[in-house]
Structure 1
Amino acid sequence: MPDYPSFTLSTIGIIHSCYKEKFGIPRQPGLVTESTARLELIPPYNRLDTLEGLSNFSHIWVQFIFHACLTEKWKAKVRPPRLGGKEKLGVFSTRATHRPNPIGLSVIKIGRIYQEDKKVFIDLYGADLLDGTPVLDIKPYLPYADSIPNSKGGFAPTPTQTKNVLFSAEAKSQCEHYENLHNREITTLIKQIIEQDPRPSYLSEQIDREHGITLWDVNIKWCARNDHLEILRIEYK
C-alpha cells in the first residue's frame, strides 16, 4: 500500500452555542434563524487583525470537528434521516456526522466582530453547532462562486416540510417569564427547533411520548400529538 500522507490540524476557535446536546440541533444551518452562537478565537489566533475585512461579508464557511462523535466508528453506508431511516446511502453521499474524518462544514451568518476581556469573538446566527465545537478554519462566503444556480440536490432537493407547533398555557407563561428575566428570545427559537421534528425516524410515529431538548440552562419538554407538536413546559437544569 502507498504511504499516503496524514495531517495534524490545529483548533483556531471554540463555539459557544445555545445547543448543549446533540438532540435538537437542526440538521442544516440556517433552518433555525433565531439560534445564536459565538465563535471565540483561541491563542495564537485571537487577534482582531486576523479578521480584518471580514465585516464586509455577511456569511462565512465554518469548518469544524464533530467532537461529540469521536468515539463512534464510521460506516460505509448510512441511513439519512431525510429518507426516514429506511434507505442506506454511501457515507460520502450524505452529511452524516460519523465520517472517516469527522469534519463538518456549515455556512453561517455573522454579526458583530469584537474583543472582550482580551478575547476575540464573532457573533453567529442560524448556526447548527453544538456548544464546545472545535473550529478548524473559517472562510468568507462568496455569493458569485458558492451559490450555484440549477444545481441538483439529490435525495434532499428542497427543505423538509415543517410541522405545526403549539404551546401549552404553562409553557407559554414560562417562556414569557424567561424572556423577561434573561432578556433573551426563546419562544421563537423553541418553535423553529421543534417544527423541524428532531425525533429519530424510529420514533416518528409515536405520539404522546415526552421528549426533552436542552437550550442554554433550560430543558424544553415536548411531545407529538396527532396533528401537531406540543411544547409542554420548561424546566431549569
Structure 2
Amino acid sequence: MTEIKPIGITRSPYKIRGEAPRQGREEDSVETVIEIYDEFEEGLGGFEGISHIIVLLWFDRADRTTLSGTPHGAGGEKRPVFTIRSPNRPNPIGFDIGRIVSVDGRRITVSGLDALDNTPVLDIKPYVPSIDCVPGASYPDKKKKA
C-alpha cells in the first residue's frame, strides 16, 4: 500500500474538538490558513480565476473505531458512518470546500473550513462548478429550510 504524505497543515482558530462547526460553510466568515510545505510549493500557483478549492484533510483527532453516528438535525437517529458526514470514521478523510480569501506564497487563506488547528492537508483541487455541482442530487436533510 502506498503511504499518504500530507502536503501541508492548517492554521485554524479552532483548537479543540467541539469548537469547529459541523460543516465549515456554516461559519463562512471564519478564516483558516493552509500552509503548504516547501517541497510542494511548485504545485501552487496564484489560483487566478479560482474562487473556491476542495481541501482534503486528515482528521487526525477523530475516533477511527466509530461505525455509526447521529447527524445534526436527525432527531437523535443513529445512522451508519458511510451515510453521514461525521469526522469519526475508519479513515478520517475530511472534504471541505473553501473560498479563497488570499494567496501569499505557500499560504492560502480560505474561509469555510471545519478543520482544527494543525490538521494535515492531504490535497487541494479547484472547485469547478460545472463538474462538482450535481443538479437534482438528494439527501434526507431533516433541517432543510422551506
Q: Tell me: CA distance 1:134–1:54, structure 2 relative to 1, closer, same or farther (3 Å).
A: same
2:88 to 81, 93, 98: 98
1:52 aligns with 2:45: yes
Q: What is the deviation of 1:155?
A: 3.3
Q: Tell me: CA distance 1:135–1:141, structure 2 relative to 1, closer, same or farther (3 Å).
A: same
Map residues 1-237 of structure 1 onto 2, 5 A cutoff. 6-45=1-40, 47=41, 49-52=42-45, 54-69=47-62, 72-84=63-75, 86-115=76-105, 120-156=106-142, 158=144
Deviations 1:26-53 (A, max 9, x none): 11122112201100001311x2x42225
TM (norm. structure 1) is 0.57
Structure with more relative contact order (C-alpha pairs < 8 Å, separation 6 or more): 2
Larger gyration radius, structure 1 or structure 2: 1
Deviations 1:60-88 (A, max 9, x none): 0000011112xx3423322223214x212
Structure with greater helix percent: 1
Q: Is the 8 A contact 2:31 2:109 kept in 1?
A: yes
Q: Is the 8 A contact 1:55 1:113 kept in 2?
A: no
Q: Tell me: CA distance 1:53–1:96, structure 2 relative to 1, closer, same or farther (3 Å).
A: same
**RMSD over aligned Cα, in angstroms?**
1.9
Q: Is the 8 A contact 1:29 1:106 kept in 2?
A: yes
Q: Tell me: CA distance 1:68–1:76, structure 2 relative to 1, closer, same or farther (3 Å).
A: closer
Q: What 5-or-longer segments of structure 1 have no aligned partner?
A: 1-5, 160-237
Distance 1:148 1:106 in 2: 16
Q: Is the 8 A contact 2:100 2:109 kept in 1?
A: yes
Q: Number of paired residues?
A: 146
Which contiguous aligned blocks of 4+ residues in structure 1 show a shift greater than 6 angstroms? none
TM (norm. structure 2) is 0.89
Q: What 5-or-longer segments of structure 2 have no aligned partner?
A: none
